[in-house]
A and B are shown apart, each in its own frame.
Chain A
Amino acid sequence: MSFFAFLHRQRANWLGLLGAALLVLLLALALAGPWLGLPDPTRGDLRARMMAPTISWAGLGVHPLGTDQLGRDILSRIIAGSRVTLTIAGSAVILGGIVGVLLGLVAGYFGGWYDRVLMRLVDIQLAFPLMLLALLVVAALGPNLQNLIAVLALTSWVRYARIIRAQVLTVREREFVQAALAMGAGHARLLLRHILPNVLTPALVVATLELARTIVLEAGLSFLGLGIQPPAPSWGRMLADGRTYIASAWWIITLPGLALMLTVLSVNLLGDWLRDWLDPRADRH
């Protein structure tokens, strides 16, 4: 199946493809950021503070998306901020995913006490407001990159664990698992070779939805001043800085807000499409 044939077959899901395309564009910008020749996102020129966006049909101008309250280029800050945001959110989703999948496997496969303890832990954490948990942990440990990733992973593992456990419960009883068991396969082999590959698909869908949620949560923490420390740029922080100037310099808050919205939207669209596409029961166009 060529790429174009794939696109053609997915034409009814153009929203999902749009999301994927936007995300690819964002990733490309984030990766290429340092080589785009943009102004330093952490160095400002106080004489050029709060300059309006200069982008127009005629060209980009000096500061295409304007400058912020310290005279820093907003475009380069949005791109540098996307690196920060995607690094934190991506790492947190992967870390939370690994932990959540492993614990879900254990709970579903072994059952009994493992299951009961783990699932009550999940219940407790789901009952606890995630933002509050994140706030408490960051306030106690101090805001830095590692702590942020850890705390966001902490808020995210439960969803994987829940879904993987449910999957394992059904897969565990299937004939091929029973057959492997009869042939004398050990726990590790059963779990990793026979069960894991069959429960990974839903984990992938959870991961995309978690990515969107984590990006928003990270922005929220940064907004409250508990994110990565200035002058390093982050979207939530840019929103917080800009709200005071919303009436005099709308671009400081609006443009990072748009970037955040588009990113979360595209991740969500991609997630929806993945869920439909990977679901064996759904009608595949």
Chain B
Amino acid sequence: MRSKVFARRFVAALAFGVSSTAALTPAAARDLTIALSSNINTLDPDKSTTVGTDLSVAAHIYTPLVDRGPDLKLRPGLATKWEAIGDTAWRFTLREGVAFSNGEKLDAEAVKWNVERVLDPKTGARNKPWFTAISEVKAISPTVVEFVTKGAYPDLPDQMSMFLLMPPKWTAENNPSIAALGSGPYELVRFASGDRVVLKARKDYWGEKPAFDNVTFRIIPEDSSRIAALEAGDVDLITAFPTSEIARIKAGGKAEAGSVAGTRGMFIKLNGLKTPFKDNPKLWRALNLGIDRKAINDGLLDGLAQVSACQPLSPVYFGFNPDLKPAPYDPTQAKKLLAEAGFANELTMDLEVPTGRYIQASDIAQVVASQLGEIGVTVKLREMEFGAFMNKYIVAKNLGDSAYFGLGWPTLDAGGLLNFWERENPQSYWDNASFNEGAKAARSTNDAAKRTELYRKLTKQLCEDSPSIFMFFTPITYAQSKGIAWQARGDDWVRAIDIKTR
């Protein structure tokens, strides 16, 4: 009797199994594992401004007002449309009926509460600088919210693409650093700092259903371990490894690899506040001509970097100046200029190199040092851990002669990036009255045409006078398993929602 029942069940199970594989294959659980190179420090989207790790993970659970798609253009998120009201306000129209997964409403009041949370000193929000120019948030109706700003704030919608909205009640009762609950396509299953974050798809998500049911972010700092994990099939997507490994991964046949133009510009920042670089544009120009960017790009980065057009912006930024061209490599002219600047015989300078942050930084710095050696400049390398460097650079305001440094601005707007050369910015190390005024003027209007014109002037000036040597935009390298297709992007976002199955 018993065996008969068993047999019947077995047959039924078999039949079900057959039918399910026939009819329900697309519904089978689809898992995705993404490997990150740095730790996730917090799940609280207001306590981090690091897009590549913390915000990328949080963006699965929380949603922004405005979303930046893989084509690097803004698209509707929670807001369906947005417009500038004069020079001092932005109005967003929200989707109707969106709720957090605990049922709390995501309406204009919730948006207002989120901004107030950031501005409240007790929160200790890291993204507060994005909001200090906002004087008031008005909930005009449940679906219309207006940001009143102190002056013009032209890139406010861009900045909102990095602002993830949290549920007011839940946030007050929980610790959002280690727990998370939002309105996004995924919900948190497990967060083990230093190891992994496990997410699963929400059943009642209001937007388009994501392609994967379970998403895991794993922290694997070592480049070679990340590549090995991909080739072993343990992870599906890895980024940020040396360009030389692309060909090898492709040749291995187990995964696909490639790269896209990045949006982080690398440059050598000269300390324009002290000798020898203070008020010495000739010396800057000499060094600018003494670096063979093409040789570095071809030799170390397999030609995948995009050489900077003598400005901190790449063509995807608003305000890019198409009239400027990359500096040529001209050691003879460089030597001549060096002599005119008063360093015919010898110039010795320190080059500080933060480690563990920028792709192949140490190798690139060593090549720069040897190239400058050819024109008679002795470069002494000073490597230091990234945190220690930032301390010296921003907190102690004690930059050495120069540093190999990179800057990108996820709003892809000239405003955010060019301000780093304005005197009042702690990272400036340059004091040029006309540049300071120009930057201020460009910030005072929301008018795109006027801003374009002003930024053209500023980039031109940076190219002619600035104590920074613009190098290139490092490529974002990536490799993926053959079952998925990541819409590779040049900014730092790494999100499962940009991945489709194949």
A residues whose Cβ falls under 8 Å from a Cβ of B = 42-44, 46-47, 49-50, 69-71, 139, 142-143, 225, 229-231, 241, 243-248
Contact = CB atoms under 8 A, between A and B. Distances in A.
A247 B248 contact: yes
Given A44-B370, A47-B299, A229-B380, A70 B363 contact: yes
Given A46-B300, A230-B381, A245 B242 contact: yes
Contacts of B241: 244
B129 to A, nearest CB: 29
B383 A246 contact: no
Contacts of B224: 243-247
B370 A43 contact: yes
16 contacts: A46-B296, A46-B299, A49-B299, A49-B300, A70-B367, A139-B388, A229-B382, A229-B383, A231-B366, A241-B363, A243-B222, A243-B224, A245-B224, A247-B224, A248-B245, A248-B248
Instruction: Identify which of B222, B363, B384 gathers the most chain A CB atoms within 10 Å of its CB.
Output: B363
B369 interface: yes
The interface size bin for chain B is 20 to 34
A71 B244 CA distance: 13
B295 interface: yes
B12 to A, nearest CB: 49
Contact of A225 (B242, B244, B363, B383): B383
A246 B245 CA distance: 10
Interface of B: 222-224, 227-228, 241-242, 244-245, 248, 295-296, 298-300, 355, 362-363, 365-367, 369-370, 380-385, 388
A247 B383 contact: no
A225 B370 contact: no
A201 B241 CA distance: 52
A47 B370 CA distance: 15
A189 B355 CA distance: 53
Contacts of B382: 142, 229
A230 B367 contact: no
Contacts of B362: 230, 241
B395 to A, nearest CB: 16
Scoring A47, A71, A231 by chain B CB atoms within 10 A of each residue's CB, the highest score goes to A231
A46 B380 contact: no
Nearest to A232: B381
A247 B228 contact: yes
B35 to A, nearest CB: 15
B238 to A, nearest CB: 13
Contact of B366 (A49, A139, A230, A246): A230
A243 B222 CA distance: 8
Nearest to A45: B299
Contacts of B228: 247
A229 B296 CA distance: 21
B281 to A, nearest CB: 29
B327 to A, nearest CB: 19
Contacts of A246: 224
Contacts of A248: 244-245, 248
Nearest to B383: A225
A248 B302 CA distance: 15
Contacts of A241: 362-363
B383 A231 contact: no
Given A70-B363, A244-B241, 8 more contacts: A139-B385, A225-B384, A225-B385, A229-B380, A231-B370, A243-B222, A243-B224, A247-B224
Nearest to B369: A231
Nearest to A231: B366
Contacts of B388: 139
Contacts of B244: 50, 69, 245, 248
What are the 6 tightest A-B residue pairs by CB atom distance, in nearest-first order? A46-B299, A244-B223, A248-B248, A246-B224, A231-B366, A225-B355
A18 to B, nearest CB: 34
A49 B299 CA distance: 8
A247 B227 contact: yes
Nearest to B355: A225
A261 B300 CA distance: 30
Nearest to B385: A225
A245 to B, nearest CB: 7
Contacts of B370: 42-44, 231
Given A46-B295, A46-B299, A229 B381 contact: yes
B331 to A, nearest CB: 16
A132 to B, nearest CB: 15
B367 A46 contact: yes
Given A50-B244, A247-B224, A248-B244, A70 B381 contact: no
Contacts of A143: 383
Nearest to B382: A229
A142 B384 CA distance: 9
A163 to B, nearest CB: 36
A247 B222 CA distance: 13
A71 B299 CA distance: 9
A79 B394 CA distance: 40
Contact of A70 (B298, B366, B384): B366
A68 B32 CA distance: 35
Contacts of B248: 247-248
Nearest to A71: B299
A42 B366 CA distance: 9
A36 to B, nearest CB: 22
A44 B295 CA distance: 12
B337 to A, nearest CB: 25
Contacts of A231: 366, 369-370, 381
Contacts of A46: 295-296, 298-300, 367
A43 to B, nearest CB: 6
A234 to B, nearest CB: 12
Contacts of B242: 69, 244-245
Contacts of B295: 46
